[in-house]
Amino acid sequence: MTEEDLEDLPESAGQRLAERQQAHQREEFRIALRGLLMTPLMQPDHEAFPAVRRQQAALRDWLSRETGWVLKVSRSGARLNKLPAELNNATRGLPGYSRYRYALLCLTGAVLVSTQSQITLQIICDKLTRRAEEPAMASCGFRFDLTTRHDRLHLVHVCRTFLSIGVLARVHGDEERFVNEENADVLYDVNRWMLAELLAAVRGPSTWLRADAPISVADRIHSLVRDFSFDTEDARRTAIRHHIARRLLDDPVVYAATLDGETSSYFTNQRGPMAARLSEATGMTAELRAEGVALVDEPGLMTDVQIRGNGTHGHVTMLVAEYLRARHFTVAKTAAGHSNTTAMFTYARDVGAFIRRAALEHGKLWRKDAREPGAEESLAEMAICRLEQLNLVEWRGGGIYPLPALARFKLGSTEVTKKSRSRRE
Protein backbone atom coordinates (compact mmCIF):
# COMPACT_ATOMS: atom_id res chain seq x y z
CA MET A 1 0.00 0.00 0.00
CA THR A 2 1.38 3.41 -1.04
CA GLU A 3 1.32 6.72 0.82
CA GLU A 4 -1.43 7.94 -1.58
CA ASP A 5 -3.58 4.94 -0.61
CA LEU A 6 -3.09 5.77 3.08
CA GLU A 7 -4.19 9.37 2.45
CA ASP A 8 -7.44 8.14 0.85
CA LEU A 9 -8.32 6.05 3.94
CA PRO A 10 -10.34 7.47 6.82
CA GLU A 11 -8.04 8.89 9.49
CA SER A 12 -8.81 6.17 12.05
CA ALA A 13 -8.34 3.34 9.53
CA GLY A 14 -5.08 4.81 8.24
CA GLN A 15 -3.80 5.23 11.77
CA ARG A 16 -4.63 1.63 12.65
CA LEU A 17 -2.91 0.39 9.50
CA ALA A 18 0.19 2.48 10.24
CA GLU A 19 0.28 1.11 13.78
CA ARG A 20 0.05 -2.46 12.49
CA GLN A 21 2.87 -1.80 10.04
CA GLN A 22 5.03 -0.35 12.82
CA ALA A 23 4.25 -3.34 15.05
CA HIS A 24 5.20 -5.70 12.21
CA GLN A 25 8.48 -3.83 11.68
CA ARG A 26 9.31 -4.02 15.40
CA GLU A 27 8.54 -7.74 15.52
CA GLU A 28 10.58 -8.47 12.39
CA PHE A 29 13.48 -6.45 13.81
CA ARG A 30 13.27 -8.49 17.02
CA ILE A 31 13.23 -11.78 15.09
CA ALA A 32 16.28 -10.71 13.08
CA LEU A 33 18.21 -9.51 16.15
CA ARG A 34 17.46 -12.65 18.16
CA GLY A 35 18.53 -14.79 15.21
CA LEU A 36 21.84 -12.95 14.86
CA LEU A 37 22.60 -13.12 18.58
CA MET A 38 22.16 -16.90 18.53
CA THR A 39 23.71 -17.45 15.08
CA PRO A 40 26.29 -14.70 14.41
CA LEU A 41 27.50 -16.51 11.27
CA MET A 42 24.18 -17.05 9.51
CA GLN A 43 23.57 -19.10 6.38
CA PRO A 44 21.03 -17.97 3.75
CA ASP A 45 18.72 -20.89 4.59
CA HIS A 46 18.37 -19.77 8.23
CA GLU A 47 14.76 -18.95 9.09
CA ALA A 48 15.70 -15.45 10.30
CA PHE A 49 17.85 -14.55 7.28
CA PRO A 50 15.04 -12.91 5.22
CA ALA A 51 14.24 -10.67 8.20
CA VAL A 52 17.93 -9.85 8.62
CA ARG A 53 18.19 -8.73 4.99
CA ARG A 54 15.07 -6.55 5.21
CA GLN A 55 16.07 -5.03 8.57
CA GLN A 56 19.82 -4.74 7.96
CA ALA A 57 19.94 -0.93 8.03
CA ALA A 58 18.06 -0.71 11.35
CA LEU A 59 20.11 -3.58 12.76
CA ARG A 60 23.41 -1.93 11.84
CA ASP A 61 22.36 1.32 13.52
CA TRP A 62 21.15 -0.39 16.70
CA LEU A 63 24.14 -2.73 17.01
CA SER A 64 26.63 0.06 16.38
CA ARG A 65 24.97 2.31 18.95
CA GLU A 66 24.32 -0.24 21.70
CA THR A 67 27.19 -2.75 21.36
CA GLY A 68 29.76 -1.50 18.86
CA TRP A 69 29.40 -4.74 16.89
CA VAL A 70 29.65 -4.66 13.08
CA LEU A 71 27.09 -6.44 10.88
CA LYS A 72 27.80 -7.65 7.34
CA VAL A 73 24.94 -8.89 5.14
CA SER A 74 25.07 -10.26 1.60
CA ARG A 75 23.28 -12.85 -0.51
CA SER A 76 25.76 -15.42 0.76
CA GLY A 77 24.88 -14.94 4.43
CA ALA A 78 25.15 -12.61 7.39
CA ARG A 79 28.03 -12.07 9.80
CA LEU A 80 27.69 -10.31 13.15
CA ASN A 81 31.20 -9.61 14.45
CA LYS A 82 30.17 -10.50 17.98
CA LEU A 83 33.33 -9.60 19.85
CA PRO A 84 33.22 -10.96 23.41
CA ALA A 85 33.36 -8.69 26.44
CA GLU A 86 35.21 -11.32 28.50
CA LEU A 87 38.22 -13.16 27.12
CA ASN A 88 39.15 -15.28 30.14
CA ASN A 89 35.89 -17.20 30.55
CA ALA A 90 36.84 -20.88 30.33
CA THR A 91 33.20 -22.03 30.23
CA ARG A 92 32.77 -20.74 26.67
CA GLY A 93 33.78 -22.50 23.50
CA LEU A 94 32.76 -25.27 21.15
CA PRO A 95 31.41 -28.35 22.96
CA GLY A 96 33.83 -31.26 23.07
CA TYR A 97 36.83 -29.18 21.96
CA SER A 98 40.25 -29.62 23.54
CA ARG A 99 43.28 -27.47 22.87
CA TYR A 100 44.48 -30.00 20.31
CA ARG A 101 41.13 -29.99 18.52
CA TYR A 102 41.13 -26.18 18.38
CA ALA A 103 44.61 -26.27 16.82
CA LEU A 104 43.35 -28.79 14.29
CA LEU A 105 40.35 -26.56 13.54
CA CYS A 106 42.62 -23.59 12.80
CA LEU A 107 44.97 -25.64 10.63
CA THR A 108 42.06 -27.14 8.70
CA GLY A 109 40.72 -23.64 8.11
CA ALA A 110 44.13 -22.61 6.75
CA VAL A 111 44.05 -25.62 4.42
CA LEU A 112 40.58 -24.66 3.15
CA VAL A 113 41.67 -21.08 2.47
CA SER A 114 44.29 -22.30 0.00
CA THR A 115 41.94 -24.66 -1.88
CA GLN A 116 39.42 -24.23 -4.67
CA SER A 117 35.64 -24.67 -4.47
CA GLN A 118 35.86 -28.41 -3.69
CA ILE A 119 38.13 -30.62 -1.59
CA THR A 120 38.22 -34.18 -0.32
CA LEU A 121 38.86 -35.35 3.21
CA GLN A 122 41.93 -37.30 2.09
CA ILE A 123 43.44 -34.16 0.57
CA ILE A 124 42.79 -32.29 3.85
CA CYS A 125 44.59 -35.09 5.68
CA ASP A 126 47.59 -34.98 3.35
CA LYS A 127 47.97 -31.21 3.72
CA LEU A 128 47.55 -31.38 7.49
CA THR A 129 50.22 -34.06 7.70
CA ARG A 130 52.68 -31.86 5.79
CA ARG A 131 51.87 -28.85 7.97
CA ALA A 132 52.32 -30.91 11.14
CA GLU A 133 55.82 -31.86 9.97
CA GLU A 134 56.92 -28.23 9.75
CA PRO A 135 59.55 -27.35 12.41
CA ALA A 136 57.38 -24.61 13.95
CA MET A 137 54.53 -27.07 14.56
CA ALA A 138 56.79 -29.85 15.76
CA SER A 139 58.46 -27.49 18.24
CA CYS A 140 55.01 -26.78 19.77
CA GLY A 141 54.44 -30.49 20.26
CA PHE A 142 51.68 -30.73 17.64
CA ARG A 143 51.33 -34.13 15.99
CA PHE A 144 48.89 -35.40 13.38
CA ASP A 145 49.00 -39.04 12.30
CA LEU A 146 46.49 -40.10 9.66
CA THR A 147 47.09 -43.77 10.44
CA THR A 148 45.68 -43.50 13.96
CA ARG A 149 41.94 -43.72 14.53
CA HIS A 150 42.24 -41.17 17.34
CA ASP A 151 43.44 -38.39 15.03
CA ARG A 152 40.97 -39.36 12.31
CA LEU A 153 38.15 -38.95 14.84
CA HIS A 154 39.44 -35.51 15.79
CA LEU A 155 39.52 -34.45 12.14
CA VAL A 156 36.01 -35.75 11.49
CA HIS A 157 34.75 -33.77 14.49
CA VAL A 158 36.38 -30.63 13.04
CA CYS A 159 34.86 -31.24 9.59
CA ARG A 160 31.43 -31.70 11.12
CA THR A 161 31.86 -28.37 12.87
CA PHE A 162 32.57 -26.73 9.51
CA LEU A 163 29.53 -28.55 8.10
CA SER A 164 27.28 -27.24 10.88
CA ILE A 165 28.24 -23.60 10.33
CA GLY A 166 28.06 -23.78 6.53
CA VAL A 167 31.73 -23.54 5.61
CA LEU A 168 31.58 -27.05 4.13
CA ALA A 169 28.74 -28.87 2.36
CA ARG A 170 28.95 -32.63 1.89
CA VAL A 171 28.67 -33.71 -1.76
CA HIS A 172 29.45 -37.39 -1.47
CA GLY A 173 30.77 -39.85 1.09
CA ASP A 174 30.45 -40.46 4.82
CA GLU A 175 32.75 -39.35 7.64
CA GLU A 176 32.00 -42.46 9.71
CA ARG A 177 33.35 -44.72 6.98
CA PHE A 178 36.46 -42.52 6.76
CA VAL A 179 37.14 -43.17 10.45
CA ASN A 180 36.82 -46.95 10.13
CA GLU A 181 38.07 -47.60 6.58
CA GLU A 182 41.49 -46.52 5.39
CA ASN A 183 40.51 -45.88 1.75
CA ALA A 184 37.16 -44.17 2.38
CA ASP A 185 36.82 -40.52 1.38
CA VAL A 186 34.38 -37.60 1.47
CA LEU A 187 33.92 -34.82 -1.09
CA TYR A 188 33.01 -31.32 0.11
CA ASP A 189 31.99 -28.02 -1.45
CA VAL A 190 33.74 -25.04 0.19
CA ASN A 191 31.68 -21.91 0.87
CA ARG A 192 34.35 -19.29 0.51
CA TRP A 193 32.23 -16.39 1.82
CA MET A 194 31.41 -18.23 5.03
CA LEU A 195 35.05 -19.27 5.38
CA ALA A 196 36.27 -15.69 4.93
CA GLU A 197 33.84 -14.43 7.59
CA LEU A 198 34.59 -17.21 10.06
CA LEU A 199 37.03 -15.20 12.17
CA ALA A 200 35.38 -12.36 14.10
CA ALA A 201 38.24 -10.04 15.00
CA VAL A 202 39.25 -6.40 14.95
CA ARG A 203 42.62 -7.33 13.52
CA GLY A 204 43.54 -10.52 11.71
CA PRO A 205 46.55 -12.53 12.93
CA SER A 206 48.22 -12.34 9.52
CA THR A 207 48.61 -8.54 9.89
CA TRP A 208 51.21 -8.86 12.66
CA LEU A 209 54.84 -8.62 11.73
CA ARG A 210 56.90 -11.49 13.09
CA ALA A 211 58.92 -9.18 15.32
CA ASP A 212 55.78 -7.51 16.77
CA ALA A 213 53.57 -10.59 17.07
CA PRO A 214 52.27 -11.34 20.60
CA ILE A 215 53.83 -14.39 22.24
CA SER A 216 51.48 -15.77 24.88
CA VAL A 217 48.04 -17.21 24.11
CA ALA A 218 46.35 -14.56 26.27
CA ASP A 219 48.14 -11.74 24.44
CA ARG A 220 47.22 -13.24 21.08
CA ILE A 221 43.54 -13.43 21.99
CA HIS A 222 43.52 -9.85 23.28
CA SER A 223 45.29 -8.61 20.16
CA LEU A 224 42.56 -10.07 17.94
CA VAL A 225 39.69 -8.21 19.59
CA ARG A 226 41.34 -5.19 21.23
CA ASP A 227 39.37 -2.05 20.44
CA PHE A 228 40.94 1.27 19.66
CA SER A 229 42.03 3.41 22.62
CA PHE A 230 39.87 6.42 23.41
CA ASP A 231 41.10 9.78 24.66
CA THR A 232 37.87 11.71 25.20
CA GLU A 233 35.44 11.30 28.09
CA ASP A 234 32.49 10.60 25.77
CA ALA A 235 34.43 7.90 23.93
CA ARG A 236 35.37 6.21 27.20
CA ARG A 237 31.76 6.22 28.37
CA THR A 238 30.68 4.75 25.04
CA ALA A 239 33.29 1.99 25.37
CA ILE A 240 32.04 1.20 28.89
CA ARG A 241 28.43 1.11 27.68
CA HIS A 242 29.35 -1.25 24.86
CA HIS A 243 31.22 -3.51 27.27
CA ILE A 244 28.25 -3.77 29.63
CA ALA A 245 25.75 -4.30 26.78
CA ARG A 246 27.88 -7.09 25.32
CA ARG A 247 27.98 -8.83 28.68
CA LEU A 248 24.25 -8.44 29.22
CA LEU A 249 23.54 -9.97 25.80
CA ASP A 250 26.17 -12.70 26.12
CA ASP A 251 26.14 -13.71 29.80
CA PRO A 252 23.28 -15.36 31.68
CA VAL A 253 23.73 -12.80 34.48
CA VAL A 254 26.08 -9.86 35.08
CA TYR A 255 27.13 -9.46 38.69
CA ALA A 256 28.11 -5.97 39.85
CA ALA A 257 31.00 -7.48 41.83
CA THR A 258 32.68 -8.63 38.58
CA LEU A 259 33.00 -5.07 37.23
CA ASP A 260 35.89 -2.73 37.93
CA GLY A 261 35.60 0.76 39.43
CA GLU A 262 34.62 3.01 36.52
CA THR A 263 32.56 0.32 34.79
CA SER A 264 30.85 -0.55 38.07
CA SER A 265 29.86 3.08 38.67
CA TYR A 266 28.39 3.39 35.18
CA PHE A 267 26.57 0.06 35.61
CA THR A 268 25.04 1.17 38.91
CA ASN A 269 23.75 4.45 37.46
CA GLN A 270 22.67 3.29 34.00
CA ARG A 271 21.67 -0.36 34.34
CA GLY A 272 17.95 0.41 34.42
CA PRO A 273 17.77 2.36 31.12
CA MET A 274 20.27 -0.02 29.46
CA ALA A 275 18.33 -3.12 30.47
CA ALA A 276 15.09 -1.50 29.25
CA ARG A 277 16.55 -0.75 25.81
CA LEU A 278 18.01 -4.23 25.41
CA SER A 279 14.80 -5.86 26.61
CA GLU A 280 12.68 -3.85 24.18
CA ALA A 281 14.89 -4.84 21.23
CA THR A 282 15.34 -8.53 22.07
CA GLY A 283 12.05 -9.44 23.73
CA MET A 284 13.81 -10.66 26.87
CA THR A 285 12.77 -9.70 30.38
CA ALA A 286 15.17 -7.70 32.54
CA GLU A 287 15.62 -8.76 36.15
CA LEU A 288 17.33 -6.06 38.23
CA ARG A 289 18.55 -7.12 41.65
CA ALA A 290 21.03 -5.81 44.16
CA GLU A 291 23.67 -8.29 42.99
CA GLY A 292 23.35 -7.56 39.27
CA VAL A 293 21.19 -7.77 36.15
CA ALA A 294 20.00 -10.67 34.01
CA LEU A 295 18.12 -10.66 30.69
CA VAL A 296 15.78 -13.64 30.93
CA ASP A 297 14.21 -15.37 27.94
CA GLU A 298 11.26 -17.33 29.32
CA PRO A 299 10.91 -19.72 26.32
CA GLY A 300 14.61 -20.58 26.73
CA LEU A 301 15.42 -19.98 23.06
CA MET A 302 18.16 -17.38 23.62
CA THR A 303 20.66 -19.73 25.23
CA ASP A 304 22.78 -22.68 24.17
CA VAL A 305 22.78 -24.09 27.73
CA GLN A 306 19.66 -24.60 29.82
CA ILE A 307 19.36 -25.50 33.47
CA ARG A 308 16.02 -27.14 32.93
CA GLY A 309 15.03 -29.52 30.20
CA ASN A 310 13.79 -32.95 29.36
CA GLY A 311 15.73 -36.12 29.99
CA THR A 312 18.19 -37.32 32.57
CA HIS A 313 20.68 -34.48 32.30
CA GLY A 314 18.03 -31.79 32.73
CA HIS A 315 16.50 -33.53 35.75
CA VAL A 316 19.86 -34.20 37.42
CA THR A 317 20.96 -30.58 36.88
CA MET A 318 17.81 -29.26 38.54
CA LEU A 319 18.25 -31.68 41.44
CA VAL A 320 21.85 -30.55 41.93
CA ALA A 321 20.83 -26.88 41.71
CA GLU A 322 18.21 -27.44 44.40
CA TYR A 323 20.71 -29.36 46.54
CA LEU A 324 23.34 -26.61 46.27
CA ARG A 325 20.78 -23.87 46.83
CA ALA A 326 19.48 -25.50 50.01
CA ARG A 327 22.98 -26.35 51.22
CA HIS A 328 24.75 -23.11 50.42
CA PHE A 329 22.34 -20.35 51.32
CA THR A 330 21.49 -20.08 54.97
CA VAL A 331 19.79 -17.16 56.61
CA ALA A 332 21.37 -15.89 59.83
CA LYS A 333 20.36 -13.01 62.02
CA THR A 334 22.88 -10.21 62.37
CA ALA A 335 23.47 -8.30 65.57
CA ALA A 336 21.15 -5.59 64.29
CA GLY A 337 18.37 -8.11 63.79
CA HIS A 338 18.51 -8.12 59.98
CA SER A 339 18.61 -11.27 57.86
CA ASN A 340 21.99 -11.98 56.31
CA THR A 341 22.46 -14.56 53.56
CA THR A 342 25.77 -16.39 53.83
CA ALA A 343 27.27 -18.99 51.54
CA MET A 344 29.70 -21.86 51.87
CA PHE A 345 31.33 -24.20 49.39
CA THR A 346 30.69 -27.85 48.59
CA TYR A 347 33.16 -30.42 47.31
CA ALA A 348 32.48 -32.07 43.97
CA ARG A 349 32.56 -35.47 45.65
CA ASP A 350 29.65 -34.37 47.86
CA VAL A 351 27.61 -33.61 44.75
CA GLY A 352 28.37 -37.10 43.46
CA ALA A 353 27.27 -38.61 46.77
CA PHE A 354 24.02 -36.62 46.59
CA ILE A 355 23.32 -37.91 43.06
CA ARG A 356 23.96 -41.47 44.25
CA ARG A 357 21.36 -40.97 46.98
CA ALA A 358 18.95 -39.21 44.60
CA ALA A 359 19.14 -42.17 42.22
CA LEU A 360 17.38 -44.31 44.83
CA GLU A 361 14.33 -42.05 44.59
CA HIS A 362 14.49 -40.71 41.03
CA GLY A 363 16.58 -43.33 39.23
CA LYS A 364 13.51 -44.97 37.69
CA LEU A 365 13.06 -41.79 35.64
CA TRP A 366 16.64 -41.74 34.34
CA ARG A 367 18.43 -43.53 31.54
CA LYS A 368 19.70 -46.99 32.35
CA ASP A 369 23.39 -46.02 32.12
CA ALA A 370 22.79 -43.15 34.58
CA ARG A 371 21.80 -45.70 37.22
CA GLU A 372 24.99 -47.74 36.88
CA PRO A 373 27.49 -47.73 39.78
CA GLY A 374 29.99 -44.89 39.31
CA ALA A 375 27.75 -42.94 36.92
CA GLU A 376 27.26 -40.28 39.59
CA GLU A 377 30.77 -38.91 38.99
CA SER A 378 30.15 -38.04 35.33
CA LEU A 379 26.65 -36.79 36.13
CA ALA A 380 28.03 -34.53 38.87
CA GLU A 381 30.66 -33.10 36.51
CA MET A 382 28.00 -32.52 33.83
CA ALA A 383 25.63 -30.74 36.24
CA ILE A 384 28.34 -28.58 37.82
CA CYS A 385 29.72 -27.56 34.40
CA ARG A 386 26.24 -26.61 33.22
CA LEU A 387 25.60 -24.52 36.35
CA GLU A 388 28.99 -22.87 35.94
CA GLN A 389 28.22 -21.99 32.33
CA LEU A 390 25.03 -20.32 33.54
CA ASN A 391 26.96 -18.20 36.09
CA LEU A 392 25.16 -19.91 38.97
CA VAL A 393 28.26 -21.42 40.62
CA GLU A 394 32.03 -21.19 40.46
CA TRP A 395 34.16 -24.33 40.45
CA ARG A 396 37.55 -23.65 42.02
CA GLY A 397 40.03 -26.23 43.25
CA GLY A 398 37.43 -28.95 43.70
CA GLY A 399 35.09 -26.64 45.63
CA ILE A 400 31.71 -25.49 44.32
CA TYR A 401 30.98 -21.89 45.33
CA PRO A 402 27.44 -20.54 44.93
CA LEU A 403 26.64 -17.31 43.13
CA PRO A 404 23.62 -15.17 44.06
CA ALA A 405 21.45 -16.07 41.04
CA LEU A 406 21.37 -19.71 42.17
CA ALA A 407 18.88 -18.67 44.86
CA ARG A 408 16.19 -17.91 42.24
CA PHE A 409 15.90 -21.58 41.18
CA LYS A 410 13.70 -24.06 43.00
CA LEU A 411 12.78 -27.55 41.85
CA GLY A 412 9.10 -28.07 41.14
CA SER A 413 7.18 -31.28 40.67
CA THR A 414 8.52 -33.77 38.15
CA GLU A 415 6.32 -34.36 35.11
CA VAL A 416 6.65 -37.73 33.40
CA THR A 417 5.72 -37.95 29.72
CA LYS A 418 5.57 -41.08 27.63
CA LYS A 419 7.01 -41.29 24.15
CA SER A 420 4.33 -41.78 21.55
CA ARG A 421 4.55 -44.95 19.52
CA SER A 422 3.69 -44.99 15.85
CA ARG A 423 0.89 -47.36 14.93
CA ARG A 424 1.82 -50.07 12.49
CA GLU A 425 -0.37 -50.16 9.43
pLDDT at 119: 94
Above 60 in pLDDT, residue 382? Answer: yes
Confidence of residue 421 (pLDDT cuts 50, 70, 90): very low
Cβ distance 40 to 69 under 8 Å?
no
Buried/exposed 307-345: b ≥16 CB within 10 Å, e otherwise: beeeebbebbbbbbbbbbbebbeeeeeeeeeeeeeeeeb
Nearest CA-CA partner of 81 in 208, 235, 192, 246:
246
> Mind listing the pLDDT tens digit for each residue in 52-88?
999 999 999 999 999 999 999 999 999 999 988 888 7
Condensed to tens digits (0 to 9), the pLDDT of residues 191-245 reads 999 999 998 888 778 787 777 777 777 788 888 887 666 678 888 899 899 999 9
Given this model, what pLDDT does residue 101 score?
93
A 10 A CB-CB count for 63 gives 21
Percent of the chain clearing pLDDT 70 (strictly above): 89
Edge-to-edge, what's the strand order for the sheet holding 118-120?
A: 118-120, 186-190, 168-173
Q: How far apart, in whole angstroms, are the C-alpha atoms of residue 30 and residue 23?
A: 11
pLDDT computed for residue 4 by the predictor = 56
Q: Per CATH, is 311-408 categorized as 1.10.340.70?
A: no
pLDDT digits (tens, 9 = 90+) for 297-341: 888 888 888 777 678 888 999 999 989 888 876 543 444 444 444
Query: How far, in Å, CA of 111 to CA of 124, rounded?
Result: 7
3-state secondary structure of 201: coil
* Burial class (CB within 10 angstroms; exposed 0-12, middle 13-18, buried 19+) of 237: middle
Task: Using the predicted structure, report yes or no on whether residue 417 has a pLDDT greater than 70.
Answer: no
